[in-house]
Structure 1
Amino acid sequence: MFDHMGFDVADFERSAAFYDAALAPLGVSRLYAVPKEYTGGIDVVGYGAQRPQFWISGGGKTSGKLHVCFSARSRAEVDAFYEAAMKAGGRDNGPPGLRPHYHEHYYGAFVLDPDGFNVEAVCHTPVSED
């Protein structure tokens, strides 16, 4: 349904370093930086696997609660996301594990990013398909 999404962060360099590390295990990397002459001097980068679909910008912190969830191809990727995000300064908001209240095979992990946003990785496949 969604083509892309983005939001502002309080400390661009800190958040970019967090997302560089946390998203790498999911096969997601920084693909594009918008030239500053098009952004009024604000840092803007896009992440994705094949094209930028997730964007952050240094325009100032987005207010309110925000939850972003990234797809993982396996439970091992969810585990690796959680470990990388925690090492990159994320705060635990729910370690890797099954969440059967969502559905039988929902395996996710939740971390809070540098701005306190809830960032998740999820795998929906049964363990035998990992």
Structure 2
Amino acid sequence: MISYVTVGADDMARAKRFYTAFLPALGYGLEEGPEGLSFALPVAEGARPVYPDFYVKPPFDGQGASVGNGAMVAFEASRQSEVHALHAAAVAAGGTDEGPPGFRASYGAHFYVGYLRDPQGNKVALFSSDPSEPGRDD
């Protein structure tokens, strides 16, 4: 099980604007501290945490943040319309479109996905794969 994912950022204000454009809509809460941004799903009293958490932080070594070539973080939305709305909100909040929401021929018939780059250049996917919604071949 993946417990958390961290991406680097040099400008926390820009990163906050981008990630708060869609992560709260997916249920993530935000805690800010001097070490950066921490997004986590809510945990009921006495329950185990729901993973993974997502962190946006300046690199610990003090060097500039850089993106991973081939690295991507994917967040699941509940519906195709949510993917579309959150992708648009993230682009409006400083992200870059890396592939508009839609079906891709090489993925499953119900895999609906949009791709983005955050202001630092980290790649992010927003997807839904609800089999009760229309699929690529419907």
Q: Percent identity?
A: 32
Question: What per-residue deviation string (whole Å, max 9, x for no partner) do you get for residues 50-80 of structure 1?
Answer: 1670001123413432311001111111111
The two structures have a TM-score, normalised by structure 1, of: 0.81
Partner of 1:23: 23
- What residue identity is the alignment partner of 1:23? L
The two structures have a TM-score, normalised by structure 2, of: 0.77
Secondary structure of residue in 2 paired with 1:15: helix
Aligned residues: 121
Please list every run of 5 or more consecutive structure 1 residues that lacks an aligned counterpart in the other structure.
37-42
Match among 9, 32, 42 for residue 50 of structure 1: 42
For the 8 Å contact 2:29–2:42, the answer to whether it is kept is: no
Secondary structure of residue in 2 paired with 1:97: strand
- What residue identity is the alignment partner of 2:4? H
User: What CA distance in whole angstroms lies between the structure 2 residues aligned with 1:4 and 1:19?
Assistant: 16
For the 8 Å contact 1:20–1:29, the answer to whether it is kept is: no
Q: Give runs of aligned pairs for residues 1-130 of structure 1, distance below 5 A.
A: 1-30=1-30, 32-34=31-33, 36=34, 43-50=35-42, 53-59=53-59, 60-65=64-69, 66-126=71-131, 127=133
Please list every run of 5 or more consecutive structure 2 residues that lacks an aligned counterpart in the other structure.
44-51
User: What CA distance in whole angstroms lies between the structure 2 residues aligned with 1:49 and 1:71?
Assistant: 13
Pairwise CA RMSD:
2.1
Q: Give the helix-richer structure, 1 or 2.
A: 1
